[in-house]
Structure 1
Amino acid sequence: MKRFFPAPWLSLAMWLLWLVLNLSVSPGNLLLGAILGIAAPLMMRKLRPLPIRIRRPGTILRLFLLVGRDVLVSNLAVAWGVLSAGRRPPNSQFIKVPLDLRDANGLAALSMITTVVPGTVWSELALDRSVLLLHVFDLEDEAAFIEHFKSTYERPLMEIFE
């Protein structure tokens, strides 16, 4: 079964998406969607990362809440920084964050978290995955920011994926 359906949930999702995008459940669209749902995962099977093994599922909820809090706080901080830029321009900087996280799935999650939190931009990852270059909109204390980044995002992801 895994040979013909390497990602059954992805196949189902692609088939349903095809039907929704075409706004039709005609026999032709049902067939084309099924072909797409079966063929695309088969052709891209080698591009998929290793299977995910979640070590501590409870940590996911804690991380979700921490990221949600940071999104809200960062939105307010960035908005205030933009509105008060005439009086005090933001201290934008590139910083290098040393990483202990090596799992590809964990790094992908970290990149999404970094993208979601306003005021931070994932700029570059070293080839050996040891250093992350981030752009920060308004940086007050580099060491404190790095410690917050590692303790809030990297360590929980290491608990989940490694």
Structure 2
Amino acid sequence: MKYFLPAPWLSLALWALWLMLNLSVSPGTVLLGALFGFLAPLLMAPLRPMPVRIRKPGTILRYVLLVGRDTLVSNLQVFWSIWNLKRRPPRSAFVKVPLDLRDPNGLAALAIVTTVVPGTVWSELALDRSLLLMHVFDLEDEAQFIEHFKTTYERPLMEIFQ
């Protein structure tokens, strides 16, 4: 069954999304949506990463709350930096962060978090996954930023995925 339907929940979600986007439940739309929901995961199955093995699920809730708090705080900091642009321009910089995290799912989560938190952008990942190049909107101290990034974002993901 997994061979023909590798992700049944994804198939169901794609089918429902198809129906909502078309605003119709005509037989043709329902059939085409079901075909799309069946074929898309089947054709994309080779692109999916390895199955996720979560080591410490309790860490996930703390991590989500931490990222939520940091997103709020960072939004306010970016707002304040832009508001005071004439008084003190931001010190934008590219930062090379050495990574210990190697799990593809953990790196994907780290990329999402880095993009969600305002003021930081994931720019490039080294081929051997040992170095991350990030753009930081307003950087005061590079060493302090790297330590904060590794402690706050990378280490919990290592606990969860590795």
TM-score range, shorter chain: over 0.9
Partner residue of 1:4?
Answer: 4
Aligned length: 162
Alignment of 1:77-92 (within 5 A): 77-92=77-92
Secondary structure at the aligned position of 2:2 is classed as coil
Partner residue of 2:109?
Answer: 109
Secondary structure at the aligned position of 1:5 is classed as coil
Superposition deviation, residue 30 in structure 1: 1.3
C-alpha distance in structure 1 between counterparts of 2:106 and 2:14, whole Å? 25
Partner residue of 2:129?
Answer: 129
Which amino acid is 1:26 matched to? S
Secondary structure at the aligned position of 1:44 is classed as helix
* Structure 1, unaligned runs of 5 or more: none
When the two chains are superposed, the root-mean-square deviation of aligned CA atoms in Å is 0.7
C-alpha distance in structure 2 between counterparts of 1:38 and 1:4, whole Å? 8
Superposition deviation, residue 67 in structure 1: 0.4
Secondary structure at the aligned position of 2:29 is classed as helix
Over residues 64-106 of structure 1, what are the superposed CA-to-partner deviations in whole Å (9 max), with x where a residue is unaligned?
0110111011111111111111111111110100000001111
C-alpha distance in structure 2 between counterparts of 1:110 and 1:103, whole Å? 10
Which amino acid is 2:119 matched to? G
Partner residue of 2:66?
Answer: 66
Secondary structure at the aligned position of 1:112 is classed as helix
Partner residue of 1:146?
Answer: 146
TM-score, with structure 2 as normaliser = 0.98
Superposition deviation, residue 9 in structure 1: 0.9
Matched, 1:26 2:26: yes
TM-score, with structure 1 as normaliser = 0.98
C-alpha distance in structure 2 between counterparts of 1:145 and 1:45, whole Å? 38
Over residues 32-78 of structure 1, what are the superposed CA-to-partner deviations in whole Å (9 max), with x where a residue is unaligned?
11111111111111011111111111111000011011101111111
Secondary structure at the aligned position of 2:3 is classed as coil
Superposition deviation, residue 109 in structure 1: 0.5
C-alpha distance in structure 1 between counterparts of 2:79 and 2:100, whole Å? 32
Over residues 87-139 of structure 1, what are the superposed CA-to-partner deviations in whole Å (9 max), with x where a residue is unaligned?
11111110100000001111010000000000001111000000000111111
C-alpha distance in structure 2 between counterparts of 1:149 and 1:65, whole Å? 16
C-alpha distance in structure 2 between counterparts of 1:23 and 1:109, whole Å? 33
Identity %: 75
